[in-house]
Chains A and B, each alone.
Chain A
Amino acid sequence: MNRKKDKGFESPRPFKLTHQVVCINNINFQRKSVIGYVELTIFPTVVNLNRIKLNSKQCRIYRVRVNDLEAPFLYNDPTLEVCHHESKQRNLNYFSSAYTAAVSAVDPDAGHGELVIKVPSELWKQGDDLKVLKVYIEFSLDQPKGGLHFVVPDVEGSMAERGAHVFSFGYQNSTRFWFPCVDSYSELCTWKLEFTVDASMVAVSCGDLVETIYTHDMRKKTFHYVLPIPTAAPNISLAVGPFEILVDPYMHEVTHFCLPQLLPLLKHSMSYLHEIFEFYEEILTCRYPYSCFKTVFVDEAYVQVSSYASMSIFSTNLLHSAMIIDQTPQTRRCLAQALAQQFFGCFISRMSWADEWVLKGISGYIYGLYLKKTFGVNEYRHWIKEELDKIVEYELKMGGVLLHPTFSGGKEKDNPTPHLHFSIKHPHTLSWEYYKMFQCKAHLVMRLIENRISMEFMLQVFNKLLSLASTASSQKYQSHMWSQMLLSTHAFLKSISNVSGKDIGPLIKQWVDQSSVVKFFGSFAFNRKRNVLELEIRQDYTSSGTQKYVGPIKVTVQELDGSFNHMLQIEENSLKHDIPCHSKSRRNKKKKIPLMNGEEVDMDLSAMDADSPLLWIRIDPDMSILRKVEFEQADFMWQYQLRYERDVVAQEEAISALEKFPTPASRLALTDILEQEQCFYKVRMQACFCLAKIANAMVSTWQGPPAMKSLFTRMFCCKSCPNIVKTNNFINFQSYFLQKTMPVAMALLRDGQNICPKDVLNFILDLIKYNDNRKNKFSDNYYRADLIEALTNSLTPAMSINNEVRTVDNLNADVRLILEEITRFLNMEKLLPSFRNTITISCLRAIRQLQKNGHIPSDPSLFKSYAQYGHFVDLRIAALEALVDYTRVERSSAELQWLLSMAQNDPVHYVRHKILGMLCKNPPFTKTTDSALCNEALVDQLWKFMNSGTSHDWRLRCDAVNLYYMLFGLTRPSCLPLPELGLVLNLKEKKAVLNPTIKPELGVGAFNTMEDEDIDMETVHDSQAFIHHHLNLLERPSTPGTHTHTHTHTHTHTHTLPNPLHKHMAEHRRATSTGHLGHY
């Protein structure tokens, strides 16, 4: 994306869409089909517009008329089958380039589309007056696999009684799956939407409901919606079902919809939505842009939250009653996310895919502000740290995440992310994981910008963008004005510089135009003579996913006399920084020590080094660099930091550092934190786990009862009988979370024999036994689930005597007790199900753990039954997770097949996505390991799946690509039989070498970087892919056993080959020679 002048947006199309009508006359739940038409009003921007390219997938198109004249049309969707011509090609490089080419070929952002309509010649002969064209398309959908999802429960009764419903879904721009349109975020138009549905149903869609009219037979109603605000097709959605309607009691223009019987939950869950509205409107000083807002809660949702113009579709599983604690913040977060995206994402749309980061960044950022306001600064900082850790971990593992990829028009080597096995040129080729990290990084970068220009300016920028857009949106048909509603990186940066007058160029260059994060190593020495702290900060910028940082960095030093901030400059070659200390090293006589926040505290200074005034040091305490810091300081410094530093991030860092110092002093510091009620509860929770680790490391010298036991007893047990826990009262959420966590952490304790101490196990069993929730206002389902998790954590591998069969009789006594609890819980759950089946989920995990540790026979059948369609989705995922694990441990090809067939056929898209995701996380084998599972049939099956089996769901296809990559790597899978030709004639060097495709991959990175200098995955067009493929045919080698047998392929190329092809040949030669070296 080249940063053009702010002249506005240049459409890639030779026409401008101004208005679109979508009319769906008939929705048949029985047959899962939809019939309707669309009418697009377009202004040609060129004379002689003879072709109109639109997007449409899986729709059956009956007729197309342009201004009432029948128009011929062509329909071609290259993404249906990515690699045509059944070939033996099985390498992912090839697939990725072909897939990118296919997506590019129909990319609306490049003016392409699947549907090409020929404008009748009568119309384009009219010449230069550029008249309005009305394109009318009749279409139907039959059992759509993507775009629309039908949920039709198989029970008696009418569709409404059965709770049957249908809703639109998709990943990024996927509206083309359910009606023909220009499926681009940058093509805005006004909308008229009409849906005729059964009289017992409600159709919820974007815009204002103008009227509802019965059909003549009074059996159906038509919902008429009008959306006067220019909106892109991907932001249009629909949900139809027998919804219960709740008008928000605080805001009458907001309406909530849920499935039958869930109204009480809806009322409770939506009771705080108005607060979120108020918050956003206040900080953005801008009214919510649409005249109404609708929330719809549906079953089998594709994602938890999806935002569309003036409506959001949520998963019904977010609804909860007042009794549920843990779900409440999660649901609030989802609502806040959805609403933030209403402003940035729906109302303001992106100009191109390369600008996606701005919208995701802003919506994520204001969502963060909401978190800060609602859940507090501690929670906010904790969340930022969590997100930062996530992105750092991902980038260090998988390579950089690039927010603003630039694709210069040329076909040169411009793949900005050679380390990835997919192209980031299109949203539809991205791996889901990468996209999630992309969003995470985007909002973190927004926060960095805020750090630079202040929040006030930041909000002013947002306000400016919004007011520009709302002015533009009220203009009628002046379509050039509408481009103000599209946001580009350039416009955003310009707005920032206008408002703040600051240059954030370097920051953008570092984090937006460039991928990767920074990795610091810090250590220090105190120079007593000079009273100077000698700090050394080194960087690793050579490993994958890292970049070099040059610029300011903040270091905070807590000394005896107070806390001091120092801004250091990280430069090219300077590692050492001298920081003068303010205080003398002598012990102050009982003087209070001032902290950063002005508080003064008494400290016991006996632990510290008598010569040094340093209490602790923090590098980049405000997280104003996307970095990982590994800092070395003495254990007592970490302990001081944990006890006295008031920032939760510092406390969490100290806790993770203390894991390496299993000493009584660490133990004491952690226990003190655990007991401190003012301390943030998540820090205390983390301290539990750290304490367990320390206790295990100190097992030989540990004094007193098991860690945390006396603490728990003191906090949660009865005074008169310390072995009995108090009856539950979760009114104080902090102690509730602590009460939940402590047993889980305690169960990780191990004694000298490396098994869980008997009294810990008995303690947990007693907690379960005496658990009494009768007087509690809240449900204890999460607590009980955690107690089961604690039982699971206490498990250790069984003593196995030469693989004897596990039977009931030789069950360990402790395991028998555990198993009895699990059986009882699991059975009780059938009679009194818990919220979201949390208890069953914990039980399934426990059973899998028992199997894995060899206590009970390893058997997948139980999990299989819970994984069936018809169980609650969380439960299914937990069962599938166990099955994925079983498949890996037992190397069972039957289970792998079972999982893959479910991934192909399950009615719930989310489950299919999860199966592949879990298989990637916990693969049955990888490209570097040998496995009996890895065989030709599997390769073919997966290849077919990603090639043609997943054309209806971008996300699923990318998941399949990920899995293929995990299992086989980028090159030809090693398990495939060697191709016919073992030798390739290298014409240039006039010698025969082993076919490169045979070469087993030696670690992706090495191989890949070598060839990436020249390959250009982006520029391979379909035709080139075709030629490439034939080239490979030409090079198809024989088996190595018959080395002498050289086969000359009859196919010769008579085409004049375009330039890139030569490059491919060169690449192959190069790969050949490297492969050659590697092999011999």
Chain B
Amino acid sequence: MQLAAVAKIKSLNYTNISYRNIAGKATSSPAENYLLARRRTLQVVVSALLTESGFESAEKAAVETLTEMLQSYITEIGRCAKAYCEHTARSVPTLSDTVVTLIEMGFNVDTLPIYAKRSQRMVITAPPVTNAPVTPKALSAGQKRTHPAHIPSHFPEFPDPHTYIKTPTFREPVSDYQVVREKAATQRRDVERALTRFIAKTGETQSLFKDDITTFPLIAAQPSTIPYLSALLPSELELQALEETDSSEQDDQTDGENTAGNDDPGADKENSMLPPSGVVPSTKASEDNVIDNPYLRPVKKPKVRRKK
């Protein structure tokens, strides 16, 4: 039910917008008129500058491009100057903001007065006065809240209620077993497929079809130097899973490195395996140290008399 309602609202919105668009095209809005006028002035400016530089005629496209450039330039100056002004916590740019901007943009400000006073410059009529576009009134929905007593009245008024009021949409968590399984399966499959495809795309591949190597890309088989390790040792994922299901069964694997003592004669003794904890019958735990196994005995030093 809820979903259907949402969909309805959406479709309503959609029609609204499109309706407005259609209306805009038919009779140009005041805002557009305003912009068009400005643009036309810019065009005139460009044409004037061209004439000034000695051009007799110009292609329309070239003029358009130059206009565009000029417009961008001016816009950038405006944007930048505004940024400077806001940086200093003001809202209206001052002259100095503009100057800093120009300098920042690599313009030599000193040349500006001379340029402005040049003799052959043309005078351009100001753009026709059109009404600046009025910002359309926001659609007000619902009743605005009045300030509570402890807030002074000069404070901004509350926004429309719909911007802050939350209507909790209660979505029942999916507990249907079938759906959960379905979702888990699909998700896993998608992840796996995406992952393997990614690896296949970025690495070497083999193909079952000579003509089409992309439909069933197989990650190329890479021989490894010690193939039995990966084939026998459980992957980390499996180990993790095992830990989750039964953490008690895992013996510690820290005593994995031994027989490393190349240079230190004592190292062998220390590194040599102690019987694994947990497996040893508890009675023997106390007598660990007395295990007499020839492989655990320290390596003897050569007898001196044998030395040549």
List the interface of chain A (C-beta within 8 A of B): 153-155, 158, 160, 162-163, 199-202, 208-216, 218-219, 221, 242-247, 249-250, 252-253, 255, 259-265, 267, 271, 292, 299, 316-317, 319-323, 718, 720-721, 724, 769-770, 772-777, 779, 805-809, 819-820, 823-824, 826-828, 830-833, 835-837, 847, 850, 856-857, 859, 861-862, 865-866, 868-875
Contacts and interface: CB of A to CB of B under 8 A. Distances in A.
Contact of B208 (A201, A261, A862, A869): A862
A871 to B, nearest CB: 6
Contacts of B211: 805, 807-808
Provide the main secondary structure of the chain B interface. loop
Nearest to A219: B262
A737 B290 CA distance: 44
B3 interface: no
A255 B216 CA distance: 49
B272 interface: yes
Nearest to A209: B294
A214 B301 contact: yes
A245 B296 contact: yes
A213 B234 contact: no
Contacts of B185: 769-770, 772
Contacts, number: 241
Nearest to A152: B225
Given A153-B226, A202-B295, 7 more contacts: A214-B302, A253-B293, A262-B233, A316-B228, A718-B178, A777-B246, A779-B238
Contacts of A245: 258-259, 272-273, 295-296
Given A252-B291, A255-B295, A870 B200 contact: no
A155 B229 CA distance: 14
A865 B221 contact: yes
Interface stretch (B30-38, B161-169, B190-198): B190-198
B255 interface: yes
Given A317-B232, A808-B212, A776 B225 contact: no
B118 interface: no
Nearest to A158: B262
Contacts of A871: 221, 223-224, 227
Nearest to B300: A213
Contacts of A847: 208
Nearest to B253: A264
A267 B181 CA distance: 37
B231 interface: yes
12 contacts: A212-B294, A218-B265, A247-B296, A262-B233, A264-B251, A317-B228, A317-B231, A724-B181, A773-B241, A830-B219, A835-B231, A857-B209
Interface stretch (B11-19, B65-73, B80-88, B274-282): B274-282
A213 B268 CA distance: 12
A868 B223 contact: yes
Contacts of B297: 211-212
A265 B230 CA distance: 13
Contacts of B291: 247, 252
Interface residues of B, number: 81
Interface string B250-268: 0101011111111101000
Given A200-B262, A779-B234, A819 B216 contact: yes
B178 A213 contact: no
A810 to B, nearest CB: 11
Given A200-B260, A720-B178, A831-B196, A212 B300 contact: yes
A267 B273 CA distance: 11
B58 interface: no
A832 B235 contact: yes
A193 B307 CA distance: 22
Contacts of B221: 830, 862, 865-866, 868, 871
Contacts of A718: 177-178, 181
A830 B217 CA distance: 13
Interface string B3-30: 0000000000000000000000000000
Nearest to A867: B221
A210 B273 contact: no
A160 B291 CA distance: 26
Contacts of B293: 247, 252-253, 255
A267 B232 contact: no
Contacts of B210: 857, 859
A827 B199 contact: yes
Contacts of B303: 213
Contacts of A259: 228
Contacts of B224: 870-871
A209 B181 contact: no
Contacts of A830: 196, 199, 219, 221-222
Interface string B22-59: 00000000000000000000000000000000000000
A809 B279 CA distance: 58
B215 interface: yes
Nearest to A833: B230
Contact of A776 (B215, B245, B294): B245
> Which 3 pairs of residues, A with B, have the shortest CB-CB distance?
A870-B223, A827-B196, A209-B294
Contacts of B302: 213-216
A775 B292 CA distance: 42
B242 interface: yes
A388 to B, nearest CB: 34
B235 to A, nearest CB: 5
B79 interface: no
B218 interface: yes
B259 A835 contact: no
A259 B226 CA distance: 11
A590 B276 CA distance: 61
B184 interface: yes
Contacts of B139: none
B220 interface: yes
A774 B185 CA distance: 12
B276 A246 contact: yes
Given A209-B294, A870-B223, A871-B227, A265 B233 contact: yes
B121 interface: no
Contact of B218 (A323, A826, A873): A826
A847 to B, nearest CB: 7
B275 A247 contact: yes
B91 interface: no
Contacts of B231: 317, 833, 835-837, 872, 874-875
Contacts of B259: 160, 200-202, 242-245
Contacts of B193: 824
Nearest to B255: A263
Contacts of B192: 824, 828
B299 interface: yes
Contacts of A321: 233-234
Given A213-B300, A247-B296, A824-B193, A724 B178 contact: yes
Contact of B229 (A218, A261, A806, A820): A261
A155 B223 CA distance: 12
A540 B167 CA distance: 90
Given A827-B218, A870-B227, A721 B292 contact: no
